[in-house]
Structure 1
């Protein structure tokens, strides 16, 4: 059993109140009592539970962060940005990866609620408005990350994915491509549907000579991208797209690996590829990958800042912060 403050008081021969004063208000205690209590603490190995003490005072020193895919460097950078901001406020970030699994998402939210964290940042899988309202009713603030709050009930920090999708396909069209495939999924993820919507807008604006087909994936991973690449290679050459817009960089890297290494297709001469996020691996790929850059660390810092403000003032009005994506052009989309 862990050593308690009562154990310390018994060993030192003083009251529990005296031990508490030594720990919190030593100026109110005699030097003799301080020495006796400190000796008892050393002998028993007592460790002060600051987290529990602050919870009793109504202020937690932790926030929770639930992300969609902990293996995606984009989310790693977003969490790092939140941690950088949290350290300025002496706050710790507890991190959970759902791996795009709604059951794991519920598990982490339940855990953070039980821990009475000060607030929760979440990149959600589906619609979790009702669950976040429950957290708010318990006095736990919540901010959406990498997801725009359509109904405005909760603050959110995101990137304009519709604009990003349009910019990506506009770029592919400008390089001379017209048979474009969007690779992504699942489609109950808002980021995926928004990026596809932007791609379709770009194609419609370009006219009937530009087509956008959809190659669905079960997840946003390198493995799923490689599998999609294999399906493309199985087609006759005249039925293959001449450009691919992947919903994120992990998919794009899987496509690149499958097409170039496995299928010996020339990128960008036979097929161009562009991703989304601009993770560090994009620039280091065998064929440097073009991508739509998101300001990942800024997203994390901004979300944490808003979360702490709302935790301090529960009556504050929800705000929607939307960053603009940036087109990063590399060799994978060079003109024909």
Structure 2
């Protein structure tokens, strides 16, 4: 037998509206009434028809989050921050992993729109802005995450990746290294482009310094290993003196490859720094220097911005917000100076 809200109200001795408030706005109901209504729900085995409710409300109590690679601990920490903040307001976060694929990203955008999510948080791959503009025009508020909004038409929260790339290579140069290599790609990922831009700027500031770019197809440990093996195949004179990897996963892969034959010493022969400062960076065989991003805070802030977008985006005087955190250099054994 299907149990309705009216059945719950009758058993609890309250109105249907009070039952609705208990389920959606419990702060508006006395604790005693909440307890009584919840007891009736439990006794009757009532399950809310959330699909029907969201049809009436126009939106669900879910937030869509699309990230580039859920295997990267940076994004799992970011998602945790978003989840903690969303739960505070009674929302759930639905996580989608684009896996650096335009097709998968588009599929998640379609799915989340069909589900009438309350709003969307996304780390877009390439130029997804036209698609996101159409999504927003049809009623889904959107915030860019780990990506600054170039046209300022979307609220965004990110880290200054140009500054982060500059900070990483500036540190390598300060240790006396001059032949620097940047490992990262593809260039469809804006964060990679920005980190490389910062690296180039730092090299340009030091006479005699050079920067070699070693492209990868993805930001993964496997791709890092491939680059590390390629470097091992070179003569010592042709190897870089220091490597800046676009994220920690790449850096870990490079480290694993360089240590495989025990012919290259880190940092004596090649210094190595990553980006993100994931938990594993400090626990690596040789603790990895990295550029720290406040991953959980980025997720938390993104939900804050989304809630304000959902409440005020229709107002004529609404202004999108742009939060940019500054990166932090974390020095460990992988870049110790001679």
TM-score, normalising length: structure 1:
0.88
Contact residue 121 and residue 142 of structure 2 kept, 8 A: yes
Q: Quote the residue 2:265 is aligned against.
A: 266
Q: What does the per-residue CA deviation read over 1:88-142, in whole Å, with 9 as the maximum and x for residues that have no partner?
A: 1111111111111111100111000001111000011111111111111111100
Paired residues of 1:67 and 1:124 also in contact (CA < 8 A)? yes
Structure 1 gaps of 5+ residues are: 27-37
Can you give the 5+ residue segments of structure 2 that lack an aligned partner in the other structure?
23-39
1:30 is matched with which residue?
none
The Cα shift of 1:242 comes to: 0.7
Aligned to 1:142: 142
1:1-336 matches, cutoff 5 A: 3=2, 24=20, 42=44, 47-50=47-50, 52-207=52-207, 209-262=208-261, 264-314=263-313, 315=315, 316-336=318-338
Moved over 3 A (4+): 2-6, 18-26
Q: Please list the CA deviations of residues 214-248 of structure 1 after superposition, one character each: whole Å capped at 9, or x if unmatched.
A: 00000000000000101111111110001000000
CA contact (8 A) 2:59 2:116 kept: no
Relative distance call for 1:97 and 1:335 in structure 2 (3 A) is: same
- Quote the offset at 1:262 in angstroms: 3.9
Give the Cα–Cα distance (whole angstroms) in 1 for the partners of residues 46 and 15 of structure 2: 12
Counterpart of 1:34 in structure 2 is none
Alignment deviations for residues 306-328 of structure 1 (CA, whole Å, 9 cap, x no partner): 00110111132112111000000
Displacement of 1:4 in angstroms is 7.6
Deviates more, 1:58-67 or 1:296-305: 58-67
Q: How many residues align?
A: 316
4 and 211 in structure 1: CA distance in 2 versus 1, 3 angstrom threshold: same
1:233 and 1:263 in contact (8 A); partners too: no
Distance in 2 (alpha carbons) for counterparts of 1:321 and 1:228: 34
TM-align CA RMSD: 2.6
Point out the more displaced range, 280-289 or 128-137.
128-137
Distance across 2 between alignment mates of 1:250 and 1:62: 30
1:31 aligned residue = none
Query: Which structure has the greater CA radius of gyration?
Result: 1
TM-score normalised by length of structure 2 = 0.87
